[in-house]
């Protein structure tokens, strides 16, 4: 459906990328008018991405820049599988995104190739020095203020009322409002009784907390970690939950079952970490990574603009965004392909 310096972009590639953008924007869930307004933007984004990728992969092939399957495996082992929490979250990420591990590996391979390409082609332009990092640290002290954090573990008995009502109405469409409220109240009481029973078990034998969390908690991520939620900050937590753990000393159970919008929680606080200013040594690796990515993006934008300016890009008219003005080939802008003569096959 398009060519870049003679290299083809196929309809399969286009459809895959277009559908990824549609999913990211939630296009299918939008009202029709809004969906139509954004469709052209998504079409342009799809073309931009595929044109850039074609330019990069063509150049990478010339420079013999590659990423092996062994490099992909090594990256996953080092960055994901060494950490038990990340390993669990990785599996859940695949399930939530309906993605196979092979699909993930292909996506990771693309990202690793892009980073290797920018490192190789960018040279000194993408290098970050210690002086760069120190300057950034000194100029942005507020970015390195670490707020108070609390590590806690919980057992959740889920009781999300809107969700419960929706499920009940799905099963009994003709149920009256009064009957619905009664059933919800009865169900909440039963769930509260379950939470109270679990709380008494934990109170009687605190050593069983992790075992009970794994067997009973309705929070699947923390349940696999024995209820451990890790360190949390106030901005990311339900205010009722935060208020409860803030008042609970380290190593202690919250003195009753806690009700929040998510249901009923049995909570044990593990540790309180006071707010502090990160030292330069603590912040250095994160700053270096941030600056490196920033420099790489700047380099890539400049490199892509130069390449597009001289590239011969031709696009089938059916895939041309409405906002794009067809112009002469060789200017780096999208130009329509010539239609085949009568009797010739269509693409």
What does each of the 347 residues of the chain score in pLDDT, given as a tens digit?
999 999 999 999 999 898 888 888 887 777 877 777 788 888 889 999 999 999 999 999 999 999 999 999 999 999 999 887 788 788 888 887 788 999 999 999 999 999 999 999 999 999 999 999 999 999 999 999 999 999 999 999 999 999 999 999 989 999 999 999 999 999 999 999 999 999 999 999 999 999 999 999 999 889 988 999 999 999 889 999 999 999 999 999 999 999 999 999 999 999 999 999 999 999 999 999 999 999 999 999 999 999 999 999 999 888 887 765 443 333 344 444 433 333 333 33
φ/ψ (deg, to 5) at 327: -135, 175
Map out the domains of the chain as residue ranges: 2-128+283-336, 148-274
Domain 148-274, CATH: 3.10.50.40
Contacts of 55 (CB under 8 A, 6+ apart): 4, 5, 304, 307, 308, 311
pLDDT at 181: 93
Are 78 and 86 in contact by the 8 Å Cβ rule? The answer is: no
What angle, 0 to 180 degrees and rounded to 10, lies between the N-to-C axes of helices 69-76 and 101-122? 100
* Rounded Cα distance, 267 and 329, in Å: 65
pLDDT at 332: 40
* Rounded Cα distance, 279 and 231, in Å: 19
* CB-count burial class (<10 Å; 0-12, 13-18, 19+) for 56: buried
φ/ψ (deg, to 5) at 9: -110, 120
Structure tokens at 175: 């149920």
Residue 79 carries which DSSP code? I
pLDDT at 342: 32
Structure tokens at 75: 């990256």
* Rounded Cα distance, 185 and 181, in Å: 6
Across 141-235, where does the E strand assignment appear?
145-146, 149-158, 228-233
* Rounded Cα distance, 137 and 262, in Å: 39
* Rounded Cα distance, 115 and 87, in Å: 23
In terms of DSSP bridges, do strands 335-336 and 313-315 run parallel, antiparallel, or are they unpaired?
parallel
SS3 6: coil
In terms of DSSP bridges, do strands 228-233 and 7-9 run parallel, antiparallel, or are they unpaired?
unpaired
C-alpha distances in angstroms, 207 versus 85, 177, 211, 246, 247? Answer: 21, 44, 8, 22, 22
pLDDT at 324: 52
Structure tokens at 168: 């009940």
φ/ψ (deg, to 5) at 233: -115, 160
Q: How many other C-beta atoms can be found within 10 angstroms of the C-beta atom of residue 100?
A: 10
Are 250 and 269 in contact by the 8 Å Cβ rule? The answer is: yes
Q: Specify whether domain 2-128+283-336 bears CATH 1.20.120.
A: no
SS3 100: coil
C-alpha distances in angstroms, 35 versus 17, 21, 233, 322? Answer: 17, 12, 37, 15
Residue 232's DSSP bridge partners are: 150
pLDDT at 323: 60
């Amino acid at each position: 459906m398009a060519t870049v310096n003679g290299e083809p972009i196929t309809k399969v590639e286009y459809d895959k990328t277009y559908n990824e953008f549609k999913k990211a924007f939630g296009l299918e869930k939008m009202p029709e008018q809004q969906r139509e307004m954004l469709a052209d933007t998504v079409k342009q984004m799809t073309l931009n991405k595929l044109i850039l990728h074609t330019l990069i992969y063509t150049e990478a092939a010339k420079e013999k820049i590659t990423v092996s399957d062994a490099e992909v495996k090594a990256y996953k082992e080092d960055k994901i599988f060494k950490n038990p929490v990340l390993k669990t979250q990785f599996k859940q990420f695949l399930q939530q995104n309906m993605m196979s591990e092979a699909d993930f590996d292909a996506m990771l391979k693309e990202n690793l190739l892009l980073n290797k390409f920018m490192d190789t082609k960018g040279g000194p332009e993408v290098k970050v020095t210690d002086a760069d990092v120190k300057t950034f640290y000194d100029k942005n002290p507020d970015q390195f203020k670490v707020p108070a954090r609390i590590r806690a573990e919980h057992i959740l008995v889920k009781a999300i009322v809107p969700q419960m009502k929706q499920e009940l109405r799905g099963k009994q469409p003709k149920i009256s409002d009064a009957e619905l409220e009664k059933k919800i109240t009865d169900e909440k009481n039963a769930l509260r009784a379950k939470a109270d029973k679990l709380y008494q078990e934990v109170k009687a034998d605190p050593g069983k907390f992790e075992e009970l969390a794994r067997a009973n908690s309705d929070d699947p991520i923390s349940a696999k970690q024995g209820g451990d939620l890790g360190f949390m900050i106030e901005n990311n937590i339900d205010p009722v939950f935060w208020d409860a753990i803030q008042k609970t000393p380290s190593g202690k159970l919250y003195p009753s079952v806690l009700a929040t919008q998510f249901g009923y929680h049995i909570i044990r606080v593990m540790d309180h970490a006071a707010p502090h200013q990160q030292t330069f040594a603590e912040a250095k690796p994160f700053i270096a990574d941030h600056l490196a990515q920033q420099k790489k993006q700047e380099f890539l934008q400049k490199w892509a603009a130069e390449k597009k300016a001289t590239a011969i890009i031709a696009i089938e008219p059916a895939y041309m965004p409405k906002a794009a003005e067809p112009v002469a080939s060789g200017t780096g802008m999208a130009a329509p392909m010539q239609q085949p003569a009568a009797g010739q096959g269509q693409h």
